[in-house]
């Protein structure tokens, strides 16, 4: 079965405090912009859709030319938030394929994890496949501005991308109306009545969010 990927880079990264959106910056570990590094990890995937801010499509094309990046991919414009960006990307994907949704600012994901997630999705087609890592720090739940309560960290996990699904099932899930609790594809899929299977992710698969993450 064909594999497709939607790489999300539709935001402008306000928390980075940079004039240039974070997906176009470089980390200290690579000579390429973050987004190019991320796409390279998906070099074995037959069909890649890249979701970009409308105002940065031409900038991206110039970056590709500058770095001689010729990996095939289709560009679509991002929506007003992640939910609508994924929905836009899904319009380019065939119903009968397995599709992974990945944050464009997670350039350190391994090709091995990517392959493992697609393989698991093929084995369990009714499930969404989502990588996770365990919590290491103590956690507390905020009750109000003056109080909080300790929680057992072994009951919680941190979720990563790529998240992988049969495209037909994910498209149906994204036919729902947007809700503010939709923070990733798993939450959309689950709200549609579908099940999620978690598999172990990678500590190195961080999401570049602030300037400290570039080092």
State phi, psi for 67 to the nearest 5 degrees. Answer: -100, 10
The SS3 of residue 62 is helix
- The β-bridge relationship of strands 195-200 and 139-144 is unpaired
Residue 163 has pLDDT above 80, yes or no: yes
pLDDT-based confidence at 79, cuts 50/70/90? very high
Residues 40-60 pLDDT 10s: 999 999 999 999 999 999 999
Whole-prediction pTM? 0.95
By residue count, the chain amounts to 215
85 close to 8: Cβ distance less than 8 angstroms = yes
Q: Determine the Cα angle at 37 with ends 34 and 38, to 5°.
A: 85
- The β-bridge relationship of strands 74-77 and 47-52 is parallel
* Nearest-angstrom CA–CA distance, 128 and 100: 10
Tokens of 58: 């031409």
150 close to 159: Cβ distance less than 8 angstroms = no
Q: Does 162 or 213 have the greater pLDDT score?
A: 162
Q: CA–CA distance from 66 to each of 32, 33, 148, 158 (Å)?
A: 10, 11, 50, 36
pLDDT average, residue stretch 75-80: 96
Q: Go through 95-119 and write b for each residue having 16 or more CB atoms within 10 A of its CB, e for each that does not.
A: eeebbbbbbbbbbbbeeebbebbbe
- Number of neighbouring beta carbons within 10 Å of residue 183: 12
The CATH fold of domain 3-214: Spore Coat Polysaccharide Biosynthesis Protein SpsA; Chain A (3.90.550)
Query: Residue 168: what pLDDT?
Result: 98
* Residue 163: CA count within 13 A, CB half-sphere: 23
* Nearest-angstrom CA–CA distance, 29 and 128: 31
């Amino acid at each position: 079965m064909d594999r497709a990927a939607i790489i999300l880079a539709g935001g402008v990264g306000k928390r980075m405090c940079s004039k240039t959106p974070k997906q176009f910056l470089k980390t200290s570990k690579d000579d390429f912009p973050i987004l190019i590094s991320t796409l390279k990890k998906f070099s074995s995937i037959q069909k890649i859709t890249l979701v970009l801010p409308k105002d940065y499509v031409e900038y991206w094309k110039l970056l590709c030319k500058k770095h001689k990046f010729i990996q095939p991919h289709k560009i679509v414009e991002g929506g007003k938030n992640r939910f609508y960006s994924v929905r836009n990307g899904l319009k380019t994907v065939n119903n009968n394929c397995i599709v992974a949704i990945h944050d464009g600012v997670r350039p350190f994901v391994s090709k091995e994890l990517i392959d493992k997630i697609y393989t698991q999705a093929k084995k369990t087609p009714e499930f969404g496949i989502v990588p996770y890592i365990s919590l290491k720090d103590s956690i507390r739940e905020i009750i109000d501005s003056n109080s909080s309560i300790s929680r057992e960290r072994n009951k919680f996990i941190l979720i990563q991308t790529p998240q992988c699904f049969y495209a037909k099932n994910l498209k149906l899930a994204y036919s729902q109306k947007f809700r503010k609790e939709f923070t990733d594809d798993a939450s959309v899929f689950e709200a549609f009545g579908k099940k999620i299977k978690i598999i172990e992710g990678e500590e190195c698969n961080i999401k570049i969010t602030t300037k400290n993450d570039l080092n």
